[in-house]
Amino acid sequence: MQTYNFTIIASGLGVEDVDRLFEAGCDDATMAIQKGLVVLEFDREARTFTAALLSAIRDVRRSGAHIERVEPDHLVNASEIAARSGLGRAAVSLYAKGERSEGFPRPVARVTSESPLWDWVEVAEWMYRQHRVPRQVVVHAKVVRAANLALEHGHHPAAGYAERILESRVAEFEAA
């Protein structure tokens, strides 16, 4: 078993509901209220990251909370890419400009602004191919993005169809 860290953003609970979360199985989460939302920072033990996240989603829903999303988010700026990959901001800038290596993903949002956003899954996959991040970074990015897409479309990521899609999207990375 390994311990995985991630954050679930939820609504429908308050500080007074800590006991409900604990009773639902979220005794491995730290709860905070930020900007009117419940922030649950998990350190969950499981065989895989996918199993850890799906079990936490089940437990949070069991408490009566509504899950808004899972973080860290898949949209990232250059500073966030640097922080997640352990590279310097200057190195990321050179990659993005194509001055250090070719094929760096194009921004997916705010393309014309001073602070473009990239899809972390695309960046992590590129960095993995460049031997800059371990495979586990790509797995976690794919799992979080798939869970958030399922949530965004009204599916419960830990239920039936959505769970199978989530697991199939990352199966080739977790196999090793």
pLDDT given for residue 161 in this prediction: 45
Binned at pLDDT 50, 70 and 90, residue 114 comes out as confident
pTM confidence score: 0.78
Mean per-residue pLDDT for 59-80?
A: 91
User: Domain 2-71+137-174 classified CATH 3.30.70?
Assistant: yes
**DSSP H or E stretch at residue 11:** strand 2-11
Asked if 13 contacts 65 with a C-beta cutoff of 8 angstroms, the reply is yes
pLDDT given for residue 173 in this prediction: 46
Domain positions in the chain are: 2-71+137-174, 75-133
How much of the chain, in percent, has pLDDT values that exceed 70? 87
Selection from 114, 129, 128 nearest residue 78 by Cα: 114
Mean per-residue pLDDT for 150-174?
A: 57
pLDDT given for residue 162 in this prediction: 45
pLDDT given for residue 42 in this prediction: 97
What single string gives the DSSP state of each residue in 15-47? GGGHHHHHHTT-TTEEEEEETTEEEEEEEEEES
